[in-house]
Amino acid sequence: TRIGVVEAIWGEHKTIEQISEILKKYQLECETALVTRLTKEKGQKLLVEFPSAEFHEISGCLTLGEFKECTSSKEEVIILTGGTSDVGVASEAEIALNFHGIKTKLLIDVGVAGLHRLLDRIEEIKLSKVVIACAGMEGALPTVLAGLIPQPIIGLPISVGYGISGGGKTALEGMLASCAPGLVVVNIDNGYGAAMAAMRILST
């Protein structure tokens, strides 16, 4: 919280016991909490112990405590995805932002293989302050976007693919290698990190 963000608890490599112990400490100090990367099973078990919490199945996030109120009237961050398979991670970014009171909009399935779908939405996209662009496979979406709009664009590579693109490394490296100027990138599937980067930008 020293840098103004709700501490997120990374749930993937922790046992239920470890997570629940940490959450109890937060509750005692009346702090809100965000747990990420939970399986459905883990999420539901935690709900039993923390009935006031909310489990967000698509993103695998659990929130404890109220979402901060949105102050802006329109979306500040637009989150784009190349395909339907990217929705889980995009959703993690969305919840992390909404939890901090940032209004978001999610545009699904605007990948570069069907360029017109992206071009059709470009004016709408230009109205946001920050863009998070999710893409798996070759990860070309943020590159194309960065040539079309002047806003900050955060490339969010997704571990969706197979063969050479399995695990998301090709998407990650494609974004880093981008010929479009000023694209920044976060780790594969790091929806929370992309959200926090957007928050840092919004507070400048």
Ligand X SMILES: Nc1ncnc2c1ncn2[C@@H]1O[C@H](COP(=O)(O)O)[C@@H](O)[C@H]1O
Q: Which of 51, 49, 54, 50 is nearest to 66 (CA)?
A: 54
Name which position in 68, 72, 113, 127 contacts a copy of itself (CB under 8 A). Answer: 113
Q: Give the total of residues touching a copy of itself (CB under 8 A).
A: 86
Closer to ligand X by CB, 74 or 117: give it. 117
Q: Give the total of residues touching Mg ion (CB under 5 A).
A: 5
Name which position in 100, 193, 195, 198 contacts ligand X (CB under 6 A). Answer: 193
Tell me: does residue 8 bind ligand X (CB under 6 A). Answer: yes
Tell me: does residue 112 bind a copy of itself (CB under 8 A). Answer: yes
Tell me: does residue 83 bind ligand X (CB under 6 A). Answer: yes
Q: 154: helix, coil or strand?
A: strand
Residue 14: φ, ψ to 5°:
-110, 150
Instruction: Draw the binding track, 112-141, toward ligand X (x: CB under 6 A; -: no contact).
Output: -x----------------------------
Tell me: does residue 85 bind ligand X (CB under 6 A). Answer: yes
For residues 174 and 166, what is the distance between their CA atoms, to the nearest angstrom? 14
For residues 55 and 81, what is the distance between their CA atoms, to the nearest angstrom? 22
Q: Which of 93, 61, 78 is nearest to 158 (CA)?
A: 93
Q: 42: helix, coil or strand?
A: helix
Task: State which of positions 159-188 bind a copy of itself (CB under 8 A).
Answer: 159-188
For residues 125 and 98, what is the distance between their CA atoms, to the nearest angstrom? 18
For residues 167 and 157, what is the distance between their CA atoms, to the nearest angstrom? 10
Instruction: Draw the binding track, 23-62, toward ligand X (x: CB under 6 A; -: no contact).
Output: -------------xx-------------------------
For residues 178 and 123, what is the distance between their CA atoms, to the nearest angstrom? 23
Tell me: does residue 100 bind ligand X (CB under 6 A). Answer: no
36 binds, among ligand X, a copy of itself, Mg ion, none (CB under 5 to 8 A by kind): ligand X
Q: Across the chain, how many H-helices and E-strands are there?
A: 8, 9
Tell me: does residue 149 bind a copy of itself (CB under 8 A). Answer: yes
Residues that bind ligand X (CB under 6 A): 8-10, 36-37, 83-85, 113, 179, 181, 190, 192-193
